[in-house]
Amino acid sequence: MQKSFPYTKWTFQLGILLPTLVIILLILDVSLGSVNIPLLQIVKALLGAETDKVSWQNIIWEFRMPKAFTAILAGATLAVSGLQMQTLFRNPLAGPYVLGISSGASLGVALVVLASYSLGSIFNTSLLGDWIVVLAASTGSGVVLMAVLALSLKVKDSMTLLIIGLMFGSLAGAIVSVLQFFSEAQQLQIYLIWTFGSLGGLDWNELYLLAVLCGLGLLIAFYLSKPLNTLLMGESYAQSMGINVKKVRILIVVSTSLMAGSVTAFCGPIAFIGLAVPHLTRILFNTANHKVLIPAVALSGMIIMLTCDIVSQLPGSQYILPINAITSLIGAPVVIWVILSKGGIKTSFSR
């Protein structure tokens, strides 16, 4: 008899391998960039020791570490949000943005950037620009989420919620298109750059705020592992096992909003992670049990996001490619390869 289920030997091995990989990739991510810093100095800096050059310490602690930590937070939370949405809607195509979070954020940013001719100059010159964009994005996603949340109190089943989320997305997209049509090239560029996504824009203060919001969302997700497992069987079964489905649905929306909403506000929309990482993790761990999946998906999200960040800064060059493109560019072929070679994603959602 297998007493330790749902944990298998393989789960324990991965439980050591994945965190190790996160640490290795973190060090690698911090060591790469336009300025070449020796690995030994990197490790020294990370351990809090003095580096040979003070500027190195500065670069590592003020630029590279915040960026790497942002990658870790964004990877973990987007992936866990995606997992929650896929389970709630029992749909393999669901992701963190199905509730209209990114559409709301885009609309907020578009309204501020595109609709305000006079503000154009502020964005190029001052730091204020960053904060205005963050504020616009979070207000936008916040408004959409409040609407979705209010509706989730009323709707009877999750599928209705899914359709409403998609409709909000279309609506926001349409308004953004109209705004784009009437705006100047310079404003369009600011908006477009935001949609590329960026992990590098955060200072430590912003990072603390992001960490608190993401941490809260992750805690709720962990707390929801049991209801999520029962939801795999459908809402009626979940209810028959004593789960308050309505309450759980609201908690899932709150948790996803905190995580995906705050990441989108600070980093822009980041595609792909939320959709693909849960599938890759299910195949890797060969389970649908959320007791295993939630920590596993969080770790896998970190790994993939750090990898994407490493690739995006093109070793040895000055340029940082848009993270939103990189995630799909290297992610999509990997997912196609994995699902073709490992027998598909459908075992989690069908018989």
Residue ranges that bind another protein, judged by CB under 8 A = 1-3, 5-6, 90, 223, 225-226, 229-230, 232-234, 236-237, 239-244, 282, 286-289, 291, 346-351
By C-beta, is 141 or 229 nearer to another protein? 229
Nearer to another protein, 89 or 266 (CB): 89
Residue 333, SS3 per DSSP: helix
Q: What's the min distance (Å) between Cβ of 99 and another protein?
A: 22
Nearer to another protein, 7 or 196 (CB): 7
Nearest-10 crossing angle of helices 290-312, 273-285? 120
CB nearer to another protein: pick between 255 and 287: 287
Q: How many other CB atoms are there within 10 angstroms of residue 139's CB atom?
A: 18
Instruction: Of 190, 47, 55, 53, give the one whose Cα is nearest residue 114.
Output: 190
Q: Which is nearer to another protein, 68 or 238 (CB)?
A: 238
For the bound state, the minimum distance from the C-beta of residue 342 to another protein, rounded and expressed in Å, comes to 11
Do 101 and 271 form a contact (C-beta atoms < 8 A)? Answer: no
Residue among 69, 23, 64, 301 nearest 208 (CA)? 69
CB-nearer residue toward another protein: 185 or 351: 351
Minimal distance in Å, beta carbon 2 to another protein? 6
Least separation in angstroms between residue 77's CB and another protein is: 20
The DSSP letter of residue 50 is P
Closer CB to another protein, 91 or 195, in the complex: 91
Q: How far is the CB of 215 from another protein (least distance, A)?
A: 17
β strands within 73-202, DSSP E? none
The minimum distance between CB 239 and another protein, in angstroms, equals: 6
Give yes or no for a contact between 297 and 280, defined as CB atoms under 8 angstroms apart. no
Q: How far is the CB of 242 from another protein (least distance, A)?
A: 3
Distance between CA atoms of residues 79 and 335, nearest Å? 14
SS (H, E, C) 216-283: HHHHHHHHCHHHHHHHCCCHHHHHHCCCCHHHHHHHHHHHHHHHHHHHHHHHCCCCCHHHHHHHHHHH
